[in-house]
Structure formats: structure tokens, C-alpha cells
């Protein structure tokens, strides 16, 4: 379920259960993820102690405490991490267990297997998957000025531009659509043809929807990590995502859908220009 808010919710949810915990056993059931699970992962992790999880973009970083090295975990399209108990039988698509000394298990579930876990030896920031990433959307470095500057000469549609990890990380298909609605910008509009002041609004809108969604993730945190079930994906009211053909909540016009960069994009033909 991972857009940035889900990844952040996951990070917060698992942290109290895994920080400072020793890994007593690694159980691999399916190792053919998007990147094959490193064969030596059990050897490296068994007996090691986990530190405090961090997040960069949609990546979770699980550093070890007393040894160099970090787990780089991406949930892909359908991955989830949750806390289970030892002895709790794995279900279909539960591919990886990290058994902890507490008797809990950090369990990875991923039907589509677009996610992966990899081992980073030392300097995580140097990894090619992380080094090119733009700023976090909730950081001060993400501004309308940045969007404006990077968009000059870019003819691509603004929606895929906003989803470009070099521009800003963590704005996935759902939140890009929602941010563009709030900012009143047509997702098809060429990035180069958007004025500075409108990018200010767009940056603020992206920040706003992501922050709100993270706050909401918090409300379902307990259920999420204890494995009572998935959180209702979005308790949040979405304005456009998944609402093709329905009336715009602001003006009543019927929402339209277009494909941009292979991704569905729903928008209001009246409110978004």
C-alpha cells in the first residue's frame, strides 16, 4: 500500500518493536523479489542488533547497531511490513521473517513482489538508488521555487514531472493527482508552462496532502502493526483519485481521466487549468 505516508506509518509502527532488538533467526520463504534477496542475508543478520529505522523517499533503512551495514527495504506496489508473533503461521505471500529476541517477528508480505530488500555495506547515502534522490517533500528544500527552476525547458506533463524522484521524492500517483487538484492545475499541462506562483501553490498542496495522510496513518497504526488487518487505505477523503466520472466536490463537474506516463490521472476539467 505504499505511498510515502504508508511507508512513514510503517516506519513509526515497527520502530518500538524492532529498535535495539537482536535478530535471532532469518526465515526466507520466497527470495525472488524485484531484486533477489541476497543469499548471505541470514548469515549477516543472525545475531545482529537492529537500530532505529529511518526513511528516505519510499525506502526504509534499517541500520544495524553494532556493525556497519544497513538493510534497504522497498515495499514496491503491494508490499507491507508488520509485526507478528513467533509461531503465528505465515500466510500466502509472506516472504520474509526476521525473528527477534522478544518473540516478535518482523514479517514481509508482498503479493506482486515488486518490492525488495537489499544489504548496504557501509555508506548508504552512496548507494545509486539513494544518491540521485531529490528532497523530501516535507523538508524545507522542497519549494515552489525549486519546482519552477527545474521545470524550465521541460515539456513533459506536470504530473509525471511532480512524480520524478529527482525533483522531489515520495509523491506517488495518488498524491500527485490530489495535489494538482488542490492547486487547480491540469495534470496534462506542460511543466514549462506553469508560472512560479502556481508552483508555490503546488508545493504547498503536495506538502499538505502528504502531511495529512501521515497524520491519518497514525490513527490506524496500532491495527497496522499488530496485524489485526490492513488499515482502511484512505480514511482520508480523496478529491480526484479513483473518482473518474463522479462529480467534482468543488464545482460538480464530472471528473475526467487521462493516462500520463502510463498512470491513470483523474482531474476536474473545470477547476484544473
Partner DNA sequence: CGTGGACCCTGTCGGC
Partner DNA sequence: TGCCGACAGGGTCCAC
Residue 3 annotated as catalytic: yes
Q: Cα angle at 107 between 102 and 110, to 5 degrees?
A: 175
- Considering the complex, what minimum distance in angstroms separates the CB of residue 69 from DNA? 20
Residue 136 annotated as catalytic: no
Residue list for the binding site: 93, 112, 154
Nearest-10 crossing angle of helices 173-183, 196-219:
130
- Considering the complex, what minimum distance in angstroms separates the CB of residue 234 from DNA? 7
Residue 263 annotated as catalytic: yes
CB 191 within 8 A of CB 154: yes
Bridge partners (DSSP) of residue 1 are: none
- Considering the complex, what minimum distance in angstroms separates the CB of residue 253 from DNA? 20
For DNA, the closer CB: 81 or 174:
174
Pairing between strand 54-56 and 263-267?
unpaired
For DNA, the closer CB: 103 or 111:
111
Residue 2 annotated as catalytic: yes
Listed residue (192, 194, 174) closest to 184, CA to CA: 194
- Rounded-to-integer distance, Cα 173 and Cα 177, Å: 6
Q: Choose, from 8, 11, 53, 58, the residue flagged as catalytic.
A: 58
CB 99 within 8 A of CB 139: no
For DNA, the closer CB: 98 or 168:
168
Q: Given 3-state DSSP classes, what are the helix, strand and coil percentages for the chain, each rounded to the nearest 5?
A: 30, 20, 45
> Residues interacting with DNA, by CB under 7 A?
1-3, 6, 32, 34, 57-59, 74, 76-78, 92-93, 111-114, 129, 154-157, 160, 165, 172-174, 233-234, 261-264
- Considering the complex, what minimum distance in angstroms separates the CB of residue 231 from DNA? 9
Q: Choose, from 136, 201, 263, 269, the residue flagged as catalytic.
A: 263
CB 229 within 8 A of CB 128: no
For DNA, the closer CB: 48 or 157:
157
Q: Choose, from 2, 53, 137, 231, the residue flagged as catalytic.
A: 2
- Residues classed as catalytic: 2-3, 58, 263
Amino acid at each position: 500500500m505504499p505511498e510515502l505516508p504508508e511507508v512513514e506509518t510503517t516506519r513509526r509502527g515497527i520502530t518500538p518493536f524492532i529498535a535495539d532488538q537482536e535478530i535471532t533467526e532469518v526465515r526466507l520463504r520466497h527470495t525472488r523479489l524485484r531484486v533477489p534477496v541476497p543469499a548471505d542475508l541470514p548469515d549477516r543478520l543472525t545475531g545482529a542488533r537492529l537500530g532505529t529505522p529511518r526513511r528516505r523517499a519510499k525506502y526504509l533503512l534499517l541500520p544495524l547497531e553494532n556493525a556497519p551495514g544497513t538493510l534497504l527495504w522497498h515495499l514496491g506496489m503491494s508490499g507491507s511490513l508488520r509485526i507478528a508473533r513467533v509461531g503465528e503461521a505465515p500466510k500466502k505471500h509472506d516472504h520474509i521473517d526476521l525473528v527477534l529476541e522478544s518473540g516478535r517477528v518482523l514479517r514481509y508480505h508482498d503479493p506482486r513482489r515488486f518490492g525488495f530488500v537489499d544489504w548496504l555495506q557501509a555508506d548508504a547515502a552512496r548507494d545509486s538508488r539513494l544518491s540521485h534522490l531529490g528532497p523530501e517533500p516535507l523538508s524545507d528544500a522542497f519549494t515552489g521555487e525549486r519546482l519552477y527552476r527545474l521545470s524550465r525547458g521541460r515539456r513533459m506533463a506536470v504530473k509525471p514531472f511532480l512524480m520524478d524522484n529527482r525533483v522531489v521524492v515520495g509523491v506517488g500517483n495518488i498524491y500527485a493527482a490530489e495535489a494538482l487538484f488542490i492547486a487547480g492545475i491540469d495534470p496534462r499541462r506542460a511543466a514549462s508552462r506553469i508560472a512560479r506562483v502556481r508552483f508555490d501553490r503546488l508545493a504547498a498542496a503536495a506538502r499538505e496532502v502528504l502531511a495529512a495522510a501521515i497524520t491519518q496513518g497514525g490513527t490506524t497504526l496500532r491495527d497496522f502493526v499488530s496485524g489485526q488487518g490492513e488499515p482502511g487505505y484512505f480514511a482520508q477523503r480523496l478529491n480526484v483519485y479513483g473518482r473518474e466520472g463522479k462529480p467534482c466536490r468543488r464545482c460538480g463537474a464530472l471528473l475526467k481521466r487521462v493516462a500520463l506516463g502510463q498512470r491513470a490521472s483523474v482531474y476536474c476539467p473545470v477547476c484544473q487549468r
